[in-house]
């Protein structure tokens, strides 16, 4: 009985977490969410490039994981499985047009510019901060325009910090393809940012 009332801070191994999830224990679910939500949110944001969409995707992922945990055979780690599900959910997110619209909408309001100005007024070296923010804004604009295939590989490399073999395994592609997609992504971004490539 004492076993079921674990505190959320206690360290348990992945296998036990999966077993408890399979038994439908609420505690295990809370644990799963608190442990993995940040990682999955970053992945989802990196693909959808939209704050609200990423929240929705990850919520869906957790619901689907809890419903389908019995299908998880533990051939790979839980993190890998969750990552794959999140990427698939993002890629199937059939609201590309909606996102495009929101981007457009944001540019109409030019909120980014307003934020930039506000931020630059706050910092001690406004010029520097402005340049950094401008670089970030330009980079994100360029990332939005990257083909999705390239963006996913770039995301897994930068945000998840995965080596090529793990990216290849996650996306079911060859390691050579990972390398060329990453290079291609960097080259396209450099072109967009007018940098040495």
Taking CB under 8 A as the rule, does residue 177 contact other proteins?
A: no
C-alpha to C-alpha distance for 13 and 129, rounded to whole angstroms: 43
Let me know: does 53 contact 32? Beta carbons within 8 Å: no
Q: Is 191 helix (H, G, I), strand (E, B) or coil?
A: helix
C-alpha to C-alpha distance for 49 and 39, rounded to whole angstroms: 15
Looking at residues 119 to 148 of the shown chain, list those that interact with other proteins (rule: CB under 8 A): 135-136, 139-140, 143
Q: How far is the CB of 15 from other proteins (least distance, A)?
A: 23
Taking CB under 8 A as the rule, does residue 179 contact other proteins?
A: yes
Cβ neighbors of 186 (< 8 A, separation 6 or more) are 154, 197
Span interacting with other proteins, options 2-10, 11-19, 59-67, 113-121, rule CB under 8 A:
59-67
Taking CB under 8 A as the rule, does residue 31 contact other proteins?
A: no
Please give the structure tokens belonging to residue 111: 């909120």
Rounded to 10°, the helix 78-91/26-48 angle is 50
Taking CB under 8 A as the rule, does residue 159 contact other proteins?
A: yes
C-alpha to C-alpha distance for 84 and 148, rounded to whole angstroms: 15
Span interacting with other proteins, options 11-19, 35-43, 76-84, 116-124, rule CB under 8 A:
35-43
Span interacting with other proteins, options 37-45, 68-76, 80-88, 120-128, rule CB under 8 A:
37-45
Q: How far is the CB of 132 from other proteins (least distance, A)?
A: 8
C-alpha to C-alpha distance for 172 and 195, rounded to whole angstroms: 32
The phi-psi region of residue 74 (left if phi > 0; otherwise alpha if psi is between -120 and 50; otherwise beta) is left
Span interacting with other proteins, options 1-9, 61-69, 74-82, 119-127, rule CB under 8 A:
61-69
- Interface positions with other proteins (CB under 8 A): 29-30, 33, 37-38, 41-42, 45-46, 51, 54-55, 58-59, 62-63, 66-67, 94-95, 97-98, 101-102, 104-105, 108, 135-136, 139-140, 143, 154-155, 157-159, 163-164, 179-180, 182-183, 186-187, 189-191, 193-197
């Amino acid at each position: 009985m004492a076993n079921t009332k674990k505190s959320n801070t206690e360290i348990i191994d992945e296998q036990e977490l999966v077993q408890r999830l399979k038994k439908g224990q609420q505690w295990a679910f809370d644990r799963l969410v608190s442990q993995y939500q940040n990682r999955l949110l970053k992945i989802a944001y990196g693909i959808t490039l939209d704050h609200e969409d990423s929240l929705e995707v990850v919520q869906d992922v957790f619901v689907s994981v809890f419903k389908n945990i019995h299908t998880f055979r533990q051939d790979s780690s839980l993190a890998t499985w969750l990552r794959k599900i999140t990427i698939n959910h993002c890629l199937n997110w059939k609201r590309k047009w909606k996102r495009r619209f929101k981007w457009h909408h944001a540019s109409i309001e030019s909120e980014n510019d307003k934020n930039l100005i506000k931020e630059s007024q706050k910092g001690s070296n406004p010029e520097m901060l402005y340049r950094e923010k401008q670089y970030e804004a330009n980079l994100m604009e360029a990332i939005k325009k990257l083909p999705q295939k390239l963006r996913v590989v770039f995301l897994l490399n930068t945000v998840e910090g995965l080596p090529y073999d793990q990216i290849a395994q996650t996306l079911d592609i060859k390691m050579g393809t990972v390398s060329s997609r990453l290079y291609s992504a960097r080259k396209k971004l450099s072109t967009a940012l007018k940098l040495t490539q």
